[in-house]
Structure formats: structure tokens, C-alpha cells
Amino acid sequence: MASVKITRALVSVFYKDNLEPIIHFLGKQGVEFVSTGGTQEFIEKLGYPVVPVENLTNYPSIFGGRVKTLHPAIFGGILYRRENSGDLSQAKEFKIGPIDLVIVDLYPFEETVAKGGSEEDIIEKIDIGGISLIRAAAKNFNDVLIVSARTHYSRLLELLHAKNGYSDLVDRKQFAALAFDVTSHYDSAIFQYFNKEQRLPRFKASIQQGKELRYGENPHQQGIYYGDLESLFEQLNGKELSYNNLVDVDAAVNLVKEFEGETAFVIIKHTNACGVATGADVKAAYLKAFQADTVSAFGGVLACNKPIDLAAAEELNKLFFEILIAPDFEPAALNLLTTKKNRIILQQKQPLTGTRQFKSLLNGVIEQDLDLKTDSKEDLKPVTKRIATATEVEALLFASKICKHTKSNTIVLAVNGQLLASGVGQTSRVDALRQAIEKAKAFGFNLKGAVMASDAFFPFPDCVEIAHEHGIEAVIQPGGSIKDQDSIAFCDTHNMAMVFTGIRHFKH
């Protein structure tokens, strides 16, 4: 049936926001309403008669409302095929009238979990009748229009007005797809709730918001972002975020949040930090971060954990960069920074809250806990005769935070509050160290008194030997190599301080 005139509608919803104009339209078209409970009262108060579900089923709502619509008189009216002679004969035999439109939403299961409801409250919010009605109507999209969430009301009202109370097959199939999106997401949320305790090795992820990107990592690849970006950021200026922009924004905000309680500035290029610093104010922190690599900062993604003032903006405006992220912007600073129309300015509205991460590989998916461990003073185990000074300890912890967010193998060279250089994504730790040393010297840094951080242990003493040659005096690393003692012995012989954390921070 290509075009169906809506003559009978089953309406039973938890949320009644924006439902009223739909009821008025249908009522004025002479549509018969079937409903129950609070929705029935809502429709009747608007002045339209309602056939109670109980009149069709000859059963009252029972078991505390757990069973209301689960009956052939209801499901038959939804599921029987209007062009199937056998179905038509049975519908006539059992006096089952057609239902052309189903407007049903689901109990707020996710909301109840999010609010910390009791297990009893949460279980009672597992919808049975509603989800069954939605699936039945969606299955029979040839004959029935299903509206499964309040977010679809405006689309329905637009359709009703445009087609004067009729629906076409294309319309019904679109709404059916939306309905199965609703039901699959709902079931995934319920599974996730139960699986926190059961820990079944299953992968289920459901995100109902998606945005098609201009392209993926490269122009020949399609890209889509799934998630609610607007809840995290308000875009104050600039062009649309790309796939690569999003990857770098994620790296930037994850790194800068490590410096809670300080004024920190980070500069990211291809997910790795080319500048990180803390300072007395935003301008000072930025200038120190920029100093680490004045070349790579060009076209970078910048992030700060404090509001951007005019003094900082005047310095930032001298640099070509892709994105700047901060919790706020002084009006004068924003006016200056938005003079370049393509420059992306993001105001971060809330912190990242995820605890798990996953990615696809080998025709499957791997999932793990996020690395949420930040090395602290309590984690440090001195292993050398010389104990690191208080200033060195602060520098070591600073370097360790950067190391955690840098692609392995990595070595980070720093002083307290400033990244000097890092070796990134190298196939050997020695190569990473040599890269860092060469880069630091290229930008005019004297490494005398600097510290070194490594994301994993040293299998040989070569890294501490090279570090000593260039004036580095303190080292932080996880430890755990069978040859740890070789590195410790060298440090002892050459008056270097080294601490172990016992925590590896690989990043691939």
C-alpha cells in the first residue's frame, strides 16, 4: 500500500512534550484514538474521544501496569497485512480493526540509571509493551506508520501537514528505520547495565548522534563522527571540523587536563605535543610552549585550561594555527582571534568523562580501559644513590604527563614547567632519545640540568649513557627490565638521580 490514510492511531507515551499539535491535527481529521492511562487523559483533556485499550482487550491494566497492550486485539491491528487475503479474513473473523499510526515511546531507562536510581526503579523502567509495539509497527511498515520517540514528533507533524493525514511507503520505511534505531539503542543500554556486573565478553556500542564529515583521514576516505560534540564544545568561529581536526582536538584536551590547578598551554601536531608549558599566566605559558618548536606549531591545534585574555590573544594572533580550545575567552580576545574567518575557536563546556576506548582491527574490535593513571609523588621509587631534588621531582612528573600522551616509543626532555623536546613514535628508545636531543639543540636549548622521561623501561643502559653525555641529570621511567641494575649502576657512577614509577604508558 503506497499511500495510507490515517484513520486510527494508538498513542501511548511517557513524554507528552510537543504531542498536543499532533493530537489536534489528527483529531480534526477524524482519526480515532486508542490509548491508555495518562496519555488517554491527556487526549481527552484536549477534547477528543478515546477508545481505552481495555475496551479492546477486555482486560484491565494488570501487574502494576506491566501488562496493558500485550494482546492480539492490539498487536493484530498493527501486524495484519492489509493486502493479504488470509490476514484480512482473520481480522474480520476476530473483529480486529486496523491501526494505521502508532505513537509510542519508551520508559526512561537510561535516565533512571544516570540519576542513580535504585535497582528496583531501574528494572521497572525496562519497557516491555512499548518496545513490542514499536517493533511490530516497524515490521509492518508497509501498512503502519511508527513514531517511536518525542524527537520524531516535529518530523511527523511536518509529514501530516504536507500530505494531509496520509503517509507514503517511503515515509513509513524511514520512520521504521528510526524505530529500530530506538529499540536497538534501548536494548544496548539495558545490556550495558547488566554487563557491568556479569562482564560477558561482548562488544556493544550505540551512539544515536552522527555527523558526516567532509572526508576521513584522507580525501578519498569517507568519515563520520558519532557523538554529541555540541555538549562538549561551542564553536565560536571557523570552518567545519575535519576528521583530523577531531583526532587532534581529542589529543589536546586529554593532555591539557593533566595540569589541573595550574595554568597550562599545549600545542599539538598529528596527536603529539610539540609544545607544552605551565606559567604564571596564559601568555607566559603559551610563549614557553611555543618556544619548544616554533616550526611545528605552524598549523597546530592549541589548548589552554584557563580563559584566554587579550594579552595572550595578541601573541596567539601572530601564529597561523588551525584550532584554539579554551574554557572561555575575554570579549576583546575573542574579537581579535576571530578576525581570521577559517580559524576554529572552541569553547570547552565540560571535561571528557569517558573511561573506556576501542578501535577496529583484524575484522574485529579491541577495547580497553583508558590510561587514566597520572604519575604522582607517591608513585616515585628512588633507585639511585642520589635522590632527586624537589625541583627535579616536579620536572620529572611534568615530563611524565607529556610522555603518557605521546606516541611510543617516546622520550621526553623537560625542565620544570616546560617541554624542551620529545622523540616520538620511534622504533627504538635510543632513536627517540637522539631525536629529542637533536630537536632540543636545534631550538637553542641547553640540556644541562634537564630531566628525561621514558614511557617504558630501558632494556640497556644506553639511554642513560647518552642522556648523561648531554647534561641530563634526572630520569623517570617505569622500571621492570631484567637489566635495570645496569642503568642504575651507570646513574650511581655519574651522580644521576633516577626514579621508577612501576607504571608503563605505552601509546600506539
Q: Annotated active-site positions, please?
A: 139, 270
Please give the Cα distance from 283 to 277 (Å, whole number): 11
Please give the Cα distance from 400 to 295 (Å, whole number): 24
Beta-carbon neighbour count of residue 339 at 10 Å? 9
Question: Grid coordinates representing 263?
Answer: 595554568
Outline where DSSP puts E strands in 42-162.
50-52, 101-104, 145-147
Question: Grid coordinates representing 188?
Answer: 544496548
Residue 195 · residue 178 · CB < 8 Å:
no
Please give the Cα distance from 290 to 267 (Å, whole number): 7
Instruction: Write the single-letter amino acid at 491.
Output: C
Residue 266 · residue 276 · CB < 8 Å:
yes
- Report the candidate in 65, 43, 42 with the shortest Cα–Cα distance to residue 54: 65
CA distances 267 to 59, 139, 271, 322, 419, Å, are: 67, 51, 9, 11, 11
Residue 463 · residue 411 · CB < 8 Å:
yes
Question: Grid coordinates representing 87?
Answer: 490476514
Cα dihedral across residues 247, 252, 255, 257: positive or negative = negative
> Cβ contacts of residue 317 below 8 Å, gap of 6+?
336, 337, 339
The CA angle 165-169-173, to the nearest 5 degrees, is 110
CA distances 271 to 264, 417, 424, 426, 507, Å, are: 17, 20, 10, 15, 11
Phi, psi of 232 (to 5 degrees): -95, -40
Residue 358's H or E segment, with its range, is strand 356-361
DSSP 280: S
DSSP 149: S
Instruction: Write the single-letter amino acid at 75.
Output: F
Residue 78 · residue 140 · CB < 8 Å:
yes
- The single residue listed with the C-alpha cell 487523559 is 41
Please give the Cα distance from 33 to 40 (Å, whole number): 9
Please give the Cα distance from 450 to 430 (Å, whole number): 17
- Report the candidate in 237, 195, 425 with the shortest Cα–Cα distance to residue 329: 237
The CA angle 109-110-113, to the nearest 5 degrees, is 90
